């Protein structure tokens, strides 16, 4: 287990944070971490919200802040994650059980009076629109869509059955669906069809016909197989 965790951490940390490669590697690491038997479980009302915050924090800090504290990498990770989770539950409990502040409550001394409402406006902070079960369901839906998106990115890059790379117009093998999907969906900013036509020396109409007639249906099917129902946006 320690060796597996070490490899997954190294795979994630060698890529720039936020890149496609980093997101795919971090997704795999988080899946492994979430299955560790020592991760704290609780029926506390704020546990799920705290857990979600914890995984978000882990993804952003494991490469820069995590330091093993014992010979067991697994044990060190579990202790590190549980420590943060404990304080997030406590913070959420304190924040949600304190007496609510009035939007006109004063912040600061008399010389520098500012209301909470003005402070929210000045800092562009948004008050939550969902809470409780509704908020939790929304978080699950967002997480599910994100996971499917990451899985689809992985599918495009790996092309396990070569369905994408082997689908191309006659005499234009480089204009295959894998290449086009990488340039259209994984690259930031994405290449336009005009740019791609110039790069591949293929007529613009032939390229777009191939994309909409062959490539996009393949990607839509892959997304559906991964659990995503709506069609991909153009």
- For 192-206, b/e burial (b = at least 16 CB within 10 A) is ebeebbeebebeeeb
Nearest to 66 by CA among 75, 19, 47, 3: 75
**pLDDT value of position 94:** 76
Question: Residues 116-126: what's their mean pLDDT?
Answer: 38
In this structure, the answer to whether residues 24 and 81 fall within a common structural domain is yes
153 and 79: one domain? no
109 in any annotated domain: no
- Examine residue 212 and state whether it is found in any structural domain, yes or no: yes
Same domain, 78 and 143: no
Q: Are residues 87 and 159 in the same domain?
A: no
Let me know if residue 112 belongs to a domain.
Answer: no
Domain membership flag for residue 133:
no
Residues 88 and 175 in one domain: no
What would the mean pLDDT of 156-162 be, rounded to a whole number? 88
Which tops the pLDDT comparison, 96 or 218?
218
Domain assignment present for 115: no
More confident residue, 176 or 191: 176
Report yes or no: 134 and 122 within 8 Å, Cβ to Cβ. Answer: no
Asked whether 135 and 128 are in contact (CB, 8 A), the reply is yes
Domain range for 56: 2-99
Residue 178: the pLDDT is 94
- Number of structural domains in the chain: 2
- Split at pLDDT 50, 70, 90, the class of 44 is confident
Domain membership of residue 190 (yes or no) is yes
Cβ proximity of 209 and 200 under 8 Å = no
Residue 200 has pLDDT above 90, yes or no: yes
Where among 46, 81, 99 does a domain terminate?
99
State residue 100's pLDDT score.
46
């Amino acid at each position: 287990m320690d060796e597996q965790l070490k490899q997954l951490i190294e795979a994630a940390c060698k890529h720039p944070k936020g890149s496609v490669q980093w997101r795919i590697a971090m997704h795999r690491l988080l899946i492994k971490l979430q299955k560790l038997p020592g991760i704290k479980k609780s029926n506390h009302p704020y546990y799920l919200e705290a857990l979600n915050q914890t995984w978000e924090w882990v993804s952003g800090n494991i490469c820069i802040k995590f330091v093993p504290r014992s010979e067991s990498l697994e044990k060190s990770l579990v202790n590190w994650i549980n420590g943060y989770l404990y304080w997030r539950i406590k913070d959420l409990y304190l924040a949600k059980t304190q007496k609510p502040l009035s939007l006109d409550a004063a912040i600061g001394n008399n010389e520098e009076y500012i209301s909470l409402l003005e402070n929210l406006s000045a800092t562009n902070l948004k008050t939550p629109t969902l809470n409780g079960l509704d908020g939790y369901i929304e978080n699950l839906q967002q997480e599910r869509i994100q996971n499917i998106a990451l899985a689809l990115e992985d599918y495009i890059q790996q092309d396990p059955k070569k369905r994408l790379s082997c689908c191309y117009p006659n005499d234009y093998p480089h204009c295959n669906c894998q290449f086009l999907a990488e340039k259209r969906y994984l690259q930031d900013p994405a290449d336009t069809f005009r740019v791609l036509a110039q790069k591949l020396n293929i007529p613009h109409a032939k390229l777009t016909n191939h994309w909409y007639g062959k490539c996009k249906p393949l990607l839509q099917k892959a997304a559906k197989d991964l659990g995503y129902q709506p069609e991909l946006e153009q």
